[in-house]
Chain A
Amino acid sequence: MGLGSTVIKGGTVLDQRGEKRVDVRIEGGLVTEVGAALQGDRMLDASGCIVSPGFVDLHVHLREPGREEAETIETGSRAAARGGFTAIVAMPNTEPPHDSLAVVEMVRRLGVQAGLCEVLPSGCITINRAGEVLAPMAELAAAGVHIFTDDGTGVQDPLLMRRALEYGKSLGILLAQHCEVSRLTEGAVMHEGGCCARLGVPGWPSVAEELMVFRDIELSRLTGAPIHFLHLSTAKSVDLVRGAKAEGLRVTAEAAPHHFTLTDDLLNGFDPIFKVNPPLRELTDVLAVKRGLADGTIDAIATDHAPHAPELKEMPLDQAPPGMLGLETSLALSISELGLDLQQVVALLSWQPAAIAGVADRHGRPIEVGEPANITVFDPNLAWTVSAAGLASKSRNTPYAGRTVRGKVRHTVFGGTAVVIDGEAQR
């Protein structure tokens, strides 16, 4: 963080306390003054913009180590900062995966070096994400890992999942499940339904997700340990989580923008850009995910940002890897497509995921004197057209290229430093 003060001027502060037209002064990494007509050494124009707590993404694939041709911690952090995120949870399915202290510490250190947002490494539930032996959860938790997941795959063995919940409960960490009963999705390419039947590709039935959501709700009930559900994609999954919450169970959930904006019929042209796991589903599922976000069943919008090198997304549909970019389009899609008021959109992007990620002491804080200065400034009305080449990610696999959306990040302040100014990353 530089010397002197920075003032965010002319915007509307929107946080969990409400909305007010004030300027914000930042010094030494903290908010030092909130008030009218402030002056500082550096001014960030926020006229017409919302000034909100920084966003937190619970679900990002940074690909480093192992797949640096698709993304690095630095390029992914840059995409995150441009998307308004001040903290991101790095998924564990790297090569090697996050099942040892060495890898977790390396990911964190590379995040610090990039200096664009806080990179929070998740930890594997099982060694090599193989679903057989628990990873050293206590050791990783002691190093600051809060979210444990085998994302990319679900923990298939119900006994092992029960043990992980019981063991993790004593550590105060959170297990996050990628819900997919693998035996029901072998070879699956897309959502199992009318489109898949016509296109002649193996289907990914909704029930493969729902069975695991149900199982883990019951295991959470049995063990008393909390469970977080990654990327809910089906109407029934949303209903199951809604029911569990109504019973007071310790359940949280996230949804990805592509699951509330895109449907399976986009695969009619066999373009792997639309292949993702869990897959794009039907309109009824999209509407259910939207309802879940609106009524509080789903706690967070998480991107499942999954970069892939172009040659992999040009393979035949059944061989191409699943996944799509998300960091730089998440805010705009949330504003444009959800029909929620901005307070609710920001809650889903900021303080609610911050609490799940265990970083509510420093991210998603209200914008008040003495709070850490992790702040996003965005124009909620600016219309722009997504272009793959215009994204900071090292990969180009956005399904939204050419789509005009509304809402764009203007500045991102991370740890008191303006890392994005007028949409441009500063490092």
Chain B
Amino acid sequence: MKHLRSIDELGVDGLRRLLDLSDHMAEINRRPVPKVPALRNKTVVSLFFEDSTRTRLSFETAAKRLSADTMSFSVGTSSVNKGESLRDTIETVAAMGVDAFVVRHKSSGVPWQISRWTEASVVNAGDGWHEHPTQAILDCYTVRTALNRPEGFDGMHIAIVGDIKHSRVARSNVWAFASLGARITLVAPHTLLPPSLEGWPVDVVHNIDDIIDRVDVLYMLRMQRERMHEALVPSLREYTAQFGLTPGRADRLQSHALVMHPGPMNRGVEMAVDPGELPGSVITQQVTNGVSVRMAVLFDLLGSGSALVGEASS
């Protein structure tokens, strides 16, 4: 694998390989000293053109646990603010010797453009509304471990609720979950669905109460407050009433059902319950698993099979 830009590009075999590799990384992360020399002398650069806390820290932690050198770039302190073009920024940083760029950008497609300008691997850490593949992989890993389904998701029913239209998480997760065999239902008003779902492996319902007692995984998306100004929903109050996870709805979940959220949560909007009080919530595990999964991704891109056998060092 040269790049990880989308779930489609990864393919189901690649996804399964990364999930298996994540098990190994999770084992490393449980050690007293969770660090291996697998990517020693490799340089990983985080290019975050858009704010992010968890994804950026997760990638940097993953790189460090594999002993990669890390460089970090944030727009606030960079030459981008002096008008430097994206291409010049990439070529300048690449000239310092880079093995992988981890890229977050508010514009869809930027990882594809960057990969045309550098020999380094490009990892998409979220591009516009388009994709967030490592989120999808860590979500698959979380479902797989929490429901103990290492063989795949056949027969599993996953509902993704909320603002699908503007969600890079949804655009990655739909294809990742589906490729492992899950049945997917999108739950949203038409204003928050993409303009076309032709070819998407999904069903759509507009009422969360129609399915909440039947799903194995309830995946809640963040509802951004800005959407109110675009006449996409009348008010947050109405959104919560129609699509939020309220205590009453939580009570109707099946006992084994998982509740997931990519973060950051809008408490009182899509999450009108305290996730800490939901027995099925795996939201914290998602964050924990994120490190293992991103270690697997970086190792798959930059490592070689033997390096992991070296085991722990300081």
Contact = CB atoms under 8 A, between A and B. Distances in A.
Contact of A203 (B85, B87, B127, B195): B195
11 contacts: A193-B196, A194-B199, A197-B194, A199-B109, A314-B85, A314-B113, A316-B105, A316-B108, A317-B108, A317-B109, A318-B128
Contacts of B151: none
Given A196-B196, A197-B197, 7 more contacts: A193-B195, A193-B196, A198-B194, A200-B171, A201-B128, A314-B113, A317-B113
Contacts of B112: 269-271
Interface residues of B, number: 24
Nearest to B117: A314
Nearest to B85: A311
Given A315-B86, A316-B113, A201 B196 contact: no
B168 interface: yes
B277 interface: no
Interface of B: 85-87, 105, 107-110, 112-113, 127-131, 168, 171, 194-200
A319 interface: yes
Contacts of A319: 107
A389 B306 CA distance: 47
A372 interface: no
Given A270-B113, A314-B113, A315-B86, A201 B108 contact: yes
Contacts of A193: 195-196
4 smallest beta-carbon distances between A and B, as pairs: A270-B109, A316-B107, A200-B129, A200-B130
Contacts of B130: 199-201
Nearest to A267: B109
Contacts of A192: 195-196
B195 A270 contact: no
A196 B195 CA distance: 8
A269 B85 CA distance: 19
A205 interface: yes
A316 B109 contact: yes
Contacts of A200: 108, 127-131, 168, 171
Residue among B107, B129, B200 with max Cβ neighbours from chain A (10 Å):
B107
Interface in A178-225: 189, 192-194, 196-201, 203, 205
A265 to B, nearest CB: 12
A214 to B, nearest CB: 21
Contacts of B199: 194, 198
Contacts of A201: 108-109, 128-130
B107 A317 contact: yes
A200 B109 CA distance: 9
A315 B113 CA distance: 9
Contacts of A271: 112-113
B9 to A, nearest CB: 11
B106 to A, nearest CB: 8
Contacts of A205: 195
A194 B110 CA distance: 20
A187 to B, nearest CB: 10
A194 B85 contact: no
Contacts of B196: 192-194, 196-197
Interface string A252-293: 000000000000000001110000000000000000000000
Contact of A316 (B86, B171, B195): B86
A199 B199 CA distance: 13
A264 to B, nearest CB: 11
A314 B86 contact: yes
A328 B196 CA distance: 36
A200 B105 CA distance: 13
